[in-house]
Amino acid sequence: MPAELIDGRAIAKKIRADVAERVKKLAESGVKPGLAVILVGDDPASAVYVAAKGRATEEAGMYSLTMRLEADTSQSELLAHVDALNDDPRIHGILVQMPLPKQIDPDFVIRSVDPNKDVDGFHPINVGKMLVGERDGFIPCTPAGIQVLLKECGVETPGKHCVIIGRSNIVGKPMAALMMQNTTDANCTVTVCHSRTKDLREHTRSADILIVAAGRSGIVTGNMVKKGAVVIDVGTNRVKDEKSKTGTRLEGDVDFESVRKVASLISPVPGGVGPMTIAMLMANTVRAAELSLSLR
Ligand code: NAD
């Protein structure tokens, strides 16, 4: 039997409905959660992501501020904007869209965001809290969303071998940190594979849960997957498609047709992990607003 599909859109909708309820509750205390997104330059893909985040923020009943800065913005100008947002009581979450132009050091910018407003979960304080298992920080949206997908689909994780392909600070590393925690929605034995891993197949073949975040179309094929494995495809690769109106289409890292024949559960691209990332950003923002009440 081919693998069942994980419906990321439906699960994300549930998360967004919960966020909307919490936004209503905060209104009773006179608080409207606010998310500021800063876009530097005119990278078309980033502009699409930023617009989608703004729309989702407004749909959730939150205050959305999108700041568009010129591509030649200096690091000190950007930092001045971040500082102002750190002090702005209307704003509970701040996100600086990556990648940044080369004159700006992304690590410096990430460190300049108030950790209490770091809804991306990239600040070293929040990364550290996640690693040591403290739950009062912010967890990066994509891995947090994947953990929710697994839970919502009833995937039993304790004792399972979770293999992650990719070691970025955005997906691979935080994913590994989450899946190894001593919690009921994790407790996996984790293997992290990356560009220097020898014999990728040897590792992927032993995965009960395989999470693929390499940004390489078709890096995982059916013969690399154990029968009955759960496969999460994080990759978003824009590829040529003459049949599509735009001439391109989005595809994941997993060779969907061959992997679907062996896996038990698989997340499609699009419609799997992607919708969860924005939903978790909304969840982190409403949480930042809730936390701001206790910091008053
Ligand atoms: P990245 O380029 O920062 O990291 C890719 C990782 O894959 C690296 O750690 C690298 O070592 C590893 N890798 C590359 N080639 C490999 C190979 N041949 N074998 C084993 N490992 C290999 O990318 P990222 O930011 O982590 O994103 C990964 C993918 O996930 C991209 O396609 C990105 O667009 C997508 N993504 C999707 C979402 C979403 O919400 N759907 C969110 C974040 C990232």
Structure token pair of residue 26: 């905060």
Question: What are the residue numbers of the active site?
Answer: 53, 97, 120
273 CA distance to ligand 1 centroid (A)?
Answer: 13
Which residue owns the Cα nearest ligand 1 atom 34?
236
Superfamily of domain 141-274 in the CATH hierarchy? NAD(P)-binding Rossmann-like Domain (3.40.50.720)
Nearest CA to ligand 1 atom 21: 194
For the chain, give the percent of residues with pLDDT over 90.
98
pLDDT for position 254: 98
pLDDT digits (tens, 9 = 90+) for 124-148: 999 999 999 999 999 999 999 999 9
Is the pLDDT confidence value at 296 over 90? no
Q: With a 6 A CB cut-off, is 237 part of the ligand 1 pocket?
A: yes
Residue 222 pLDDT > 90: yes
What confidence score (pLDDT) does residue 1 get? 87
Q: What is the pLDDT of residues 75-128, one digit of tens each?
A: 999 999 999 999 999 999 999 999 999 999 999 999 999 999 999 999 999 999
Section 200-220 average pLDDT = 98
Residue 206 has a pLDDT of 98
Q: How far apart are CA 213 and CA 235, in angstroms?
A: 5
Mutate which of 165, 200, 250 for ligand 1? The one with the most ligand atoms within 8 Å of its CB, which is 165
Strand partners, 164: 192, 211
* pLDDT greater than 80 at residue 61: yes
Parse the chain into domains and list their residue ranges: 31-115, 141-274
H/E/C letters for each residue in the chain? CCCEECCHHHHHHHHHHHHHHHHHHHHHCCCCCEEEEEEECCCHHHHHHHHHHHHHHHHCCCEEEEEEECCCCCHHHHHHHHHHHHCCCCCCEEEECCCCCCCCCHHHHHHHCCHHHCCCCCCHHHHHHHHHCCCCCCCCHHHHHHHHHHHHCCCCCCCCEEEEECCCCCCHHHHHHHHCCCCCCCCCEEEEECCCCCCHHHHHCCCCEEEECCCCCCCECHHHCCCCCEEEECCCEEEECCCCCCCEEEECCECHHHHHCCCCEECCCCCCHHHHHHHHHHHHHHHHHHHHHHHC
Q: Report the pLDDT averaged over residues 188-211.
A: 98
Same fold, 31-115 and 141-274: yes
* CATH number of the structural domain 31-115: 3.40.50.10860
pLDDT of residue 47: 95
Q: How far away, in angstroms, is 215 Cα from ligand 1 center? A: 4
294: confidence class by pLDDT, cuts 50, 70, 90: confident
Q: What is the mean pLDDT of residues 13-33?
A: 97
Predicted structure pTM score: 0.97
Report the mean per-residue pLDDT for the chain: 97
Does the pLDDT of residue 295 top 80, yes or no? no
